[in-house]
Chain A
Amino acid sequence: EVLLVESGGGLVQPGGSLRLSCAASQFTFSNYAMTWVRQAPGKGLEWVATISSSGSSTYYADSVKGRFSISRDNSKNTLYLQMNSLRADDTALYYCAKGRLTNPPYTRYFDNWGQGTLVTVSS
């Protein structure tokens, strides 16, 4: 069974930085695009960023472009999200998610999700 385990969340001051990790197991991580999706408390789902299976292509929501960076280490089966210049409206539960198939556009919807890691931006 596919397992995705996020970590790295916590309380950070506005303007601060945080790096999230997502450890993947029980599937061939290097074959799949991976995505971060967030959910502010009591709100809906918001796509944040996607990275291709090789890591050569990345895509970002306008709300995080220039501040967040998605990356992956296929040798460690781990996905990352580097978050800089954090703002209060970045407060959310951050999920990593696996694309269902290996070929676009079927990499862009998600059949497995982690449990999420909570990021709180507050002074």
Chain B
Amino acid sequence: DIQLTQSPSFLSASIGDRVTITCRASQGISSYLAWYQQKPGTAPKLLIYGASTLQSGVPSRFSGSGSGTEFTLTISSLQPEDFATYYCQHFNSFPLTFGGGTKVEIK
């Protein structure tokens, strides 16, 4: 099974900061990676798929990069509505797995 390790698990940042979250896969998954945002009490929302393609309607301050085993999600300028938990998920093969999550909080 493919394990996904996200880091950090928690980060504290200010409005306007550039934020980077890393997701490492235990084996190569090409670009078969998605990123989700989840706010408390709500379902996850798809942000990025194929490692770097922005889902329709997602602000351009979000970007994704990487392939193989190392991936990053970047928020170029953190906005108040971006405080949430972020998850990566591989879709290379079954079983699907999610990373452990990164909670982004206000400094």
Contacts and interface: CB of A to CB of B under 8 A. Distances in A.
Interface in A107-121: 108-111, 113-116
A64 B43 CA distance: 22
Interface in A2-57: 35, 37, 44-47, 50
Given A45-B87, A109-B34, A115 B98 contact: no
Interface residues of B, number: 24
B31 to A, nearest CB: 11
Name the interface size band of chain A. 20 to 34
A111 B46 contact: yes
Main secondary structure of the interface of B (DSSP, over half): loop
Nearest to B92: A105
Given A44-B98, A100-B49, A109 B93 contact: no
27 contacts: A35-B96, A37-B44, A44-B98, A45-B36, A45-B38, A45-B44, A45-B87, A45-B98, A45-B101, A47-B89, A47-B95, A47-B97, A47-B98, A59-B94, A59-B95, A62-B1, A100-B46, A105-B92, A108-B94, A108-B96, A109-B46, A109-B49, A110-B44, A110-B46, A113-B45, A114-B43, A115-B43
